[in-house]
Amino acid sequence: MTKSETEKSRDEHGKLPKIAKVPVVLQMEAVECGVASLSMILAYYGRYETLETLRIDCGVSRDGVKAGNIARTARLYGLESQGFVCTVDKLKEMEMPVIIHWDFSHFVVLEGFKNDKVYLCDPASGQRVITTEELEQMFTGVVIESRPGPEFTPAGEKPNVWKALYKRLSQTGVSPLFYALVLGVLLVIPGLIIANYAKIFVDYFLNNTEKFDILIFIFILLNTVVLQAILNWLKENALVRMENYIAIDSAGAYLRHVLRLPVEFFNQRQSGDINSRMQSINTVATALSSNLARILVNLVTAFLYLILLFQYNVILTLIGIVITAINIFLLQYTAKKNADNNRVLLQYQGKSIGWIMVNLKSIETIKSIGEEDNFFTRIAGLSAETLAVEQKMGRMEAIISVLPTLMTSVLTALIFTIGSEYVLMGAMTIGTFVAFNTLMTGFTQPMSELVSTSAALQGMIADISRLDDVEKYPEDVALEAEKLSLEGFDCDQLEGEIEIRDLTFGYNRLSAPIIQGLNLTLRAGGSIALVGSSGSGKSTIAKMITTLYQPWSGEIRIDGMDIKAIPAELRVNTMSSVDQEIVMYSASVLDNITMWDETIAVEDVIQATKDACIYEDILALPNAFDHILSEGGKNLSGGQRQRLEIARALCKNPKILIMDEATSALDTATEAAVSENIRRRGISTILVAHRLSTIRDCDEIIVLSGGAVVERGTHKDLMALGGEYASLIRTEG
């Protein structure tokens, strides 16, 4: 912001405004508080950028984002941004809003100071007010100040629940909605008949009972009511069908997309949070069918009733419109407040579910170290936070539910008061007044529903944001190989020669790479071992070969072909991997080995279990291969689970096998037997190992440190060298 612009923003006392309310943007990942904070600053100045875009620009990785990267990205969008260190007293003199570093692990937006209170917008929980003492305790001193520069231009659109819902509705088809709209229009006809018959009954029947056939009147009225009930049933049935269709279709599309996302997406989110977003699908489906569709139907119905009301009395109709407009304004105001609360609630619920899932998986560790009380305290704390937000939302929802009834009562009282005057003056008959009230009910009822449902839809923006966060995330680029044709390949598998050329990779493109200039060649049927201390990049290299991570530069070639040019089906048939994190399902032993792939022959499964030295253990189980494992394979030992995982990799008879700490739970004799069986198969093997006893016979051993190759050669060569490898061997004893 220029000096003149700053002076214009000062109040009449020459002071900068103390509170700068920013649009609330909640983080979708645990590591993107900085990105969400920058998004709020940009939105405050009129630039709306999605979190997906800012994640890439800021270089968000599994370790989060640095303050310098936030400032650098802000400058890309035309903000004059700088980071510096200051005190709380200095903060009070600054123009708001600014991003501050919080508790050494978080970023928040500071909106300003007022009456010894500090106003924050926290990407994790929304807007909140704290004391100066708490600020002094949590503020680390790091500030990122950003103001619009000469190159800054407002752009993008403010998130809009109506556009988002319409977009989803247009993707699902509108035939049931159109059907419901037609029925809504037809429902006006019974209402009109009832209103007119009420007028006739009061004005004519009550004064001329001898000339009026009450039976005909009752017959027509009953048929009208039956017609109204049938039309209502057909309309509701159409909306329910629409809701079911949207929910099923959306859930399937969501799950398909999730399974096609890169591994980075899952590394940066809790599994419980991803799972909880499935519930948002049903919420949005209900919003589209029950809420949005009902709003459209009610709008059409209310408009038609409004036309009829003007035919009866313009003044009374205008009173109805004014009261309804006041009702809409009040409900929209309270609904907007509740929408922010709903964002926070969904965040807390996802965090709570994720925490419970993670800890239940490690319940044995928790119990063995006696941490049950701490676990309970943490869960109770998260539950208390969730309950506090739910109670706050409950108070707002109580207002939302009462307002339509209250305003309808006010409208009824006004119409009866003024309408009675019209009747007494002879400007309106009693029958006409009764008919008008009947039609006014037909107008106010759909309008009350419209206001209530539109208020509920305001809360949908949080659910939609959570779904958009997943659906807009780009799919794994490795899946481009699915589009490649198998034409020209006369084999089901490749031979298994691997060549890596000048490979560079890092988790954050704005930081130095963790692997740089890696080269290696593995002949078909040969073996290479990657060794080094923790964090040296061994597992990362293994994941790049299996295409879980994409290198920044360089090539991975199999049989002389770039791995990106190999059809996915051929690559999967050629390569298998065994990860250090073992996953077992609550299913039969056979299904855990084949992963429900019915094309795998039983003979291949048996041979794989024999080579993994788990065959005899399986036969000893009740029902052998049909034995049902518990979740996580808890009814097996650690070594049995690991050997079962190896059998899973071998049953497809791969030509390339990546083993990441795959035998760490095996005793020396079993480990040697499994290694010999794999060598006998003639598989090209890349071993990632801490335990070095089984890699002595590898064709090449590559020693890594800090992502760089520091030594390479055979066991004999490296021992003679007396360097880092020899030191590792001596340490292992």
Residues in the chain: 733
CA 535 remoteness from chain centre: 29
Is there a single domain that holds both residue 303 and residue 446? yes
Please report whether residue 156 resides in a domain: no
Please report whether residue 153 resides in a domain: no
Is there a single domain that holds both residue 529 and residue 549? yes
Residue 382: its H or E element: helix 372-425
Least reliable range by pLDDT among 127-131, 318-322, 467-471, 535-539: 467-471
Is there a single domain that holds both residue 282 and residue 357? yes
Tokens of residue 549, six digits: 């991570």
pLDDT digits (tens, 9 = 90+) for 235-276: 778 777 777 777 777 777 888 888 888 887 887 776 667 777
**Domain CATH code at residue 658:** 3.40.50.300
Task: Please tell me the predicted confidence (pLDDT) of residue 430.
Answer: 82
Please report whether residue 154 resides in a domain: no
Mean pLDDT of 550-566: 91
Tokens of residue 176, six digits: 């049931």
d(CA 274, CA 724): 42
The C-alpha R_g of the chain, in whole angstroms, comes to 34
Strands 126-131 and 527-532: unpaired
Is there a single domain that holds both residue 143 and residue 292? no
Residue 348: its H or E element: helix 314-361
Q: Categorize the per-residue pLDDT at 368 as very low, low, confident or very high, splitting at 50, 70 and 90.
A: low
Q: Could you say which of 109, 124, 148 is where a domain stops? A: 148
**Domain CATH code at residue 14:** 3.90.70.10
Helix (H, G, I), strand (E, B) or coil at 650: helix
* 273 residue type, one letter: D
Structural domain tally of the chain? 3
User: Which phi and psi angles does 87 have, rounded to 5°?
Assistant: -95, 170
pLDDT digits (tens, 9 = 90+) for 516-526: 888 999 999 99
Torsion of CA 486, 492, 494, 495, to 10 degrees: -150
Is there a single domain that holds both residue 135 and residue 167? no
* 717 residue type, one letter: D
Q: Could you say which of 428, 455, 471 is where a domain stops? A: 471
Is there a single domain that holds both residue 210 and residue 92? no
> Where is mean pLDDT largest: 427-441, 466-480, 595-609, 697-711?
595-609
Q: Could you say which of 122, 148, 174 is where a domain stops? A: 148
Task: Please tell me the predicted confidence (pLDDT) of residue 11.
Answer: 45
**How many C-beta neighbours within 10 Å does residue 560 have?**
9
**Domain CATH code at residue 381:** 1.20.1560.10
- Smallest Cα–Cα separation from 288: which of 250, 249, 246? 246
Is there a single domain that holds both residue 195 and residue 111? no
Is there a single domain that holds both residue 663 and residue 567? yes
Is there a single domain that holds both residue 710 and residue 581? yes
Tokens of residue 650, six digits: 């071998």
**How many C-beta neighbours within 10 Å does residue 565 have?**
11
673 contacts 635 by C-beta, under 8 angstroms = no
Please report whether residue 482 resides in a domain: yes
**Domain range for 175:** 161-471
Is there a single domain that holds both residue 196 and residue 300? yes
- CA–CA distance from 532 to each of 291, 727, 729 (Å)? 58, 11, 11
CA contacts within 13 A on the Cβ side of 202: 15
Is there a single domain that holds both residue 144 and residue 188? no
Please report whether residue 654 resides in a domain: yes
d(CA 441, CA 309): 11
Strands (E), 414-570: 498-505, 515-522, 527-532, 553-558, 561-562
**How many C-beta neighbours within 10 Å does residue 722 have?**
10
Please report whether residue 155 resides in a domain: no
d(CA 137, CA 376): 27
- CA–CA distance from 408 to each of 243, 322, 373, 423, 449 (Å)? 30, 12, 52, 22, 12
pTM of structure: 0.67
Please report whether residue 66 resides in a domain: yes
Percentage with pLDDT > 70 across the chain: 83
Is there a single domain that holds both residue 527 and residue 592? yes
Please report whether residue 340 resides in a domain: yes
